[in-house]
Amino acid sequence: MAVEEVTRRWALFTTTSLATIFITFGGLRLLLIKCSANKDGKFDYLPVTVNLCAEMIKLLVCSIMAVNVVRKGSEQLTICVSWQDVLRLFKWSVPGLLYFLDNLITFYVVASFEPAMVVLLNNFAIISTAVLFRLILKRKLGKLQWASLVILFLAIMCLSRQANVTHSSSDAKLMHHNKQGQNNESQQSSPTIKCNVQPGDYCSSDGLPICSTKIIQLPSWRYKLSLLGQYEGHCWVLLQCFLSSMANIYNEKIFKEGHGMEDSIYIQNTKLYLFGVFFNLSSIVFIDKYWERVTKCGLFHGYNKFSCLLIFVNAFMGLTVALILKFRDNMFHVLSAQILTVVVITLSVLLMGFKPSLEFFLQAPIVLLAIYIYNNSKDTETQSKDNLLVT
C-alpha cells in the first residue's frame, strides 16, 4: 500500500509540475512576443532567427543528453545503413516542418491581436484536434461532445468578430495619431540603422530598405482578396490551430508507436530538432529578403531584451511539450492550455492594460463552459449507458 501511495503521489507531482511549467512558459512566450514588437506592432528582428536559435538550443541540450545515454549503454546509436533506416529518420521531418510553420505564424497572430484574444481564439485547436482525432485516429465523439464543439465554434466566431472590431478601432486611432504628429516627426531626425547597407540596396516589392522594420512581408496576392484581407489575422489563427494539432498528434504517434516508449526521448528529440534547425535555416537561405537581411544586417539585428529572453522561453517550452506528448498525451496538453487561457487573460488585464468589453465578459465564459462540457461529457455518457444496462 505504501508503494502504491508513493507512486500515486509521484505521478501527481510530475503531472502538476509539467502543467505548471507549460503554463508558465506558454504565458511568457505570448507576452514576450508582444513586448518585443515595436510601437507599430511590427518586429525589428527576423522572427525566424528567434525560432532558429531556439531549435539550436533544444538540439544542443538533447544531443548532449543523447550522447550521455548512449555512453552509459542504455541505448544503442542507430546508423542509417539502409533505405528503411533513412525513412525512419525522415518521418521526424513531418512534425519538424509543421512546428516550423506553427512557430513562425505565431508571431503574426500575436502581432494581430492582444494576448488575451490570442489564447481565446487558439481554443479552436480543440475543434481541430477533435476533427483530426476522428479522421486520423478514428476516435468517436459523443453527442454532447459534438454539441459542445458547435457551441465553442460559435463563441469563438463571436469573439473573433469582437477582436476584429477592437483591432480595427485601435488601428484607426493609430493612423489618426500618426497624421496629427506627422509635422512634428518630420522635423526630427529619424534613427539610423547601423548595418552594412548600400544606397542602392532596396527591396524590389515595396521600395523599403532591407533593414526596415517592416520585415514580415506577406505575399502581395493576398492583399488583392478584399474579403480575406479584413479577416486576415483570423485566417492565420485557423491555420495555426490545424498545424499545431497535426504536429502534436503526429508527434505523439511516432513518440509512442512500436517500441517508441522504450526509446530514449533525448534521441527522439535530437532527430526532431535536427529537422527543426534544417527548416528554419533553409528559410533564411532560400528566401531572398531573409538572406539579404541576415548578410547585410546580421543575424541578431533588431534584437532587444525581450526577443533575447524569448529564445530561451521558446526552447524550454518546446522541451516541455515533448515531455507532455511522450509521457502524457494531447488531451493533457489541451487541458493545460485552458488554464493558460485564464492566466494570460489575467496577466493582460494587470500588466498590459487590456480592457475587456462587455461582450468579452459575456462570451469568454461561454468558451470555457463549452470546453468544460466537452471534457466531462464522455464520462457522463458512459455513466448513462451503465445505468441503462443496470436497469
Task: Write out the three cell numbers for 297.
Answer: 544586417
**Calpha distance 72→85 (Å, rounded):** 23
> Which residues are registered as beta bridge partners of 209?
202
Q: How far is CA 125 from CA 58, 183, 256, 389, in A?
A: 25, 46, 22, 35
pLDDT at 218: 43
Is residue 309 within 8 Å of residue 317, measured between CB atoms?
Answer: no
Is residue 316 within 8 Å of residue 20, measured between CB atoms?
Answer: no
pLDDT at 279: 97
**Calpha distance 314→319 (Å, rounded):** 9
Using one digit for the tens of pLDDT, what is the confidence trace for 233-243? 778 888 999 99
Alpha helix stretches (DSSP H) within 124-211: 124-136, 143-180, 182-187
Q: How far is CA 202 from CA 60, 167, 197, 208, in A?
A: 36, 30, 9, 6
**Calpha distance 149→143 (Å, rounded):** 10
pLDDT at 331: 75
**Calpha distance 136→145 (Å, rounded):** 18
Q: Enumerate residue ranges in the chain where pLDDT < 70.
A: 1, 74-82, 137-138, 159-231, 378-391
**Calpha distance 317→36 (Å, rounded):** 18
**Calpha distance 315→321 (Å, rounded):** 10
Residue 132: which residues within 8 A CB-CB, separation 6 or more? 242, 245, 246, 249
DSSP letter assigned to residue 183: H
Using one digit for the tens of pLDDT, what is the confidence trace for 177-197? 444 544 444 444 434 444 654
* Orientation of helix 232-256 relative to helix 143-180, angle to 10°: 130
pLDDT at 225: 43
Q: How far is CA 114 from CA 118, 122, 123, 213, 363, in A?
A: 6, 12, 15, 20, 16
Residue 387 CA, distance from chain mean position: 42
* Orientation of helix 93-112 relative to helix 265-286, angle to 10°: 60
Q: CB atoms < 10 A from the CB of 125, how many?
A: 23
pLDDT at 381: 52
CA atoms lying within 13 Å on the CB side of residue 53: 16
pLDDT at 310: 96
